[in-house]
Amino acid sequence: MSIMVLVRLCLIFVAALLIACCTAVGVDDGEQVTLSGQVIAGPACPDQIDSSGCEDQPVESAVLIVRDSEGQEVTRVTSDANGQFSVQLQPGRYYLEPMPVQGLLGTPGELEIVVEQMSVAPITIEYDTGIRSITSPPLTE
């Protein structure tokens, strides 16, 4: 075998090896990541104090719309009785849009979420109950 043929075979082998490695590193289209979190509402008591029973409460049946980076709806997810939700998504940039919940005054704004290959930290969606503190005017003598 001539040296030129041997060099060509080596180059072809190296090129094939590089192509195989590069495609193996890419994101598999079937790979999905779990986005999870909790939906809560607060404050639970006027004049928020450190006592049991005044913690923010879970919101059941809150609907969250997941949109892709171009604003197209990808899916909807609904929170369970404990306010928990989870959805499987491909890696990418998404927007999570909480929908109004009957009985709660404030609806949270849209959240931008970046889903990476490995995992996404759990997120908390906070609705406003509308409960406010009523403070007495200062006593005057």
pLDDT, tens digit (0-9, with 9 covering 90-100), for 65-98: 999 999 999 999 999 999 999 999 999 999 999 9
Q: At residue 57, does pLDDT exceed 80?
A: yes
DSSP 8-state class, residue 36: E
| Res 97: pLDDT | 98
| Res 45: pLDDT | 82
What domains appear along the chain, each with residue ranges and CATH number? 33-128 (2.60.40.10)
- 33: exposed, middle or buried (Cβ count in 10 Å: 0-12, 13-18, 19+): middle
| Res 122: pLDDT | 92
| Two structure tokens written together for 44 | 């639970």
Residue that the structure tokens 């939906």 belong to: 39
| Res 4: pLDDT | 57
| Res 138: pLDDT | 55
| Res 50: pLDDT | 60
